[in-house]
Amino acid sequence: MKKLMLILGVAVGLVGALYAQLAPVNEVGISIGHLHVFPADREKEAKAWLALGGQLENNLSNNIPVGFPGIVILVGNPRPDNLGSEGTVIDHVAFRVPDLQASLDRWKGVQTWWKNGTWFSKIESGSKPGQAFLTTPGGVKIEVLEDKSLKSPVAFDHVHYYMDAARLKAMEDYYVKMFGAKPVKGQADVFTVPGGKLIFTSAATAPTPTTGRTLDHLGFNMLNAQVLGTFSNTLEEKGAKFQRPYEPASMGMIRIVTDFGTNIEVTKAQGGYFDTKLLDEGYYQVDEGGKKQGETPTYKR
């Protein structure tokens, strides 16, 4: 892992300095935290996210963390197949850039040591001005939108969900009820959570679940273990179903099973990927599995 991080560190020079952080939390204590991807080749995948404009952040877990304003991309342990995001519940994610054409020229012009000659497996024009689509080596579809008012080189914009019409409203209501998502005035099926937007679109048929694919899930973030533990109890009272219930761990998380084909993680102190001062004491006391020295975690992975 250390060797890989050193290799990837060289790629950081391609994007220059970028100040990235997670957004302040909302009234229920939540902000967007991370996207977790599991590509067949994690080095290629991480370099693509770096080329998009992210930067390599603090190495706090068994993931390669690539940070953007509003989110951190966690490139996890490789899975044997690159199962693309298109056609799944989370069809794609979106970022904004101040000059789309300049960004496209840069992405197309970067030569790499693998045969397709760019950092991305596919670069396509969008259906409207100021829009393009990229596909990472691992198959994650990324929408890129031009925002001339943007002051940073790149910023996270939204997660785009697709759901069959019969369940679309129930899915939207779930994110409102559980995580405090707020509807955007004048934009149907668009909601905000600090850090970005959640956009929901009706699909003709039920989309493929994300669980087990390259883009596996979205994670929300809370500030520390105490609020995460309390929030976990609140979610349970609201009827949430847990694959992984709350237990103290270095980065701390709960994993929620939904009825919509995509699980959700809620973590704590992930701002520490950007600034270690934002870590809480739990990071130094237990490992990722909640294990102290000589102990075994009580939950089952």
**Lowest-pLDDT range of 59-73, 109-123, 216-230:** 109-123
Let me know if 299 is exposed, middle or buried by CB neighbors in 10 A (0-12, 13-18, 19+). middle
Is 119 inside any structural domain?
yes
What band does 16 get if pLDDT is binned at 50, 70 and 90?
very low
Residues paired with 47 in a beta bridge:
none
- The conformational region for residue 261 under phi > 0 = left, psi -120 to 50 = alpha, else beta, is left
Residue 299 in domain: no
pLDDT digits (tens, 9 = 90+) for 229-286: 999 999 999 999 999 999 888 888 899 999 999 999 999 999 999 999 999 888 888 7
Number of domains in the chain: 1
Q: Is residue 94 situated within a structural domain? A: yes
Please, what is the average pLDDT of the chain? 88
Looking at the domain assignment, is residue 298 inside a domain?
Answer: no
161 touches 198 (CB < 8 A): yes
C-alpha triplet 114, 117, 119: angle, nearest 5°: 80
> What is the domain-level CATH number for residue 26?
3.10.180.10
190, 196 contact by CB (below 8 A): no
Q: What is the pLDDT of residue 7?
A: 37
Residue that is written with structure tokens 């001339």 in the block: 148
Q: pLDDT value at position 4?
A: 44
Q: Residue 296: what pLDDT? A: 56
Q: What's the whole-model pTM score?
A: 0.89
The residue that leads in pLDDT, 172 or 120, is: 172
60, 63, 80, 69: which is closest to 15 by C-alpha? 69
pLDDT tens column, 185-227: 999 999 999 999 999 999 999 999 999 999 999 999 999 999 9
Q: What is the 3-state secondary structure (H, E, C) of the chain?
A: CHHHHHHHHHHHHHCCCCCCCCCCCCCCCCEEEEEEECCCCHHHHHHHHHHHCCEECCCCCCCEEEEECCEEEEECCCCCCCCCCCCECEEEEEEEECCHHHHHHHHHHCCCCCCCCCCCCEEEECCCCCEEEEECCCCCEEEEEECCCCCCCCEEEEEEEEEEHHHHHHHHHHHHHHHCCEECCCCCCEEEECCEEEEEEEECCCCECCCCCCEEEEEEEECCHHHHHHHHHHHHHCCCEEEECCCCCCCCEEEEECCCCCCEEEEECHHHHCCHHHCCCHHHHCCCCCCCCCCCCCCCC
Whether residue 290 is contained in a domain is answered as: no
pLDDT tier at 158, thresholds 50, 70, 90: very high
Q: Domain of 229?
A: 2-285
Q: Please compute, for residue 249, the number of CA atoms within 13 A of its CA located in the half-sphere on the CB side.
A: 23
pLDDT band at residue 299, thresholds of 50, 70 and 90? very low
Question: Which residues does 300 contact at the CB level (< 8 Å), separation at least 6?
Answer: none
Lowest mean pLDDT among 105-109, 160-164, 174-178, 182-186: 105-109
* Cα dist from 201 to 110, 165, 206, whole Å: 34, 8, 12
- Classify residue 293: in a domain, yes or no: no
Q: How many CB atoms lie within 10 A of CB 2?
A: 7
List beta partners, residue 266: 220, 254
Question: Is 259 inside a domain boundary?
Answer: yes
CA distance 142 to 136: 8
Query: Are 290 and 249 spatial neighbours (Cβ–Cβ below 8 Å)?
Result: yes
- pLDDT-based confidence at residue 6 (cuts at 50, 70, 90): very low
Give a yes or no: residue 201 inside a domain. Answer: yes
Distance CA 135, CA 84 (A): 9
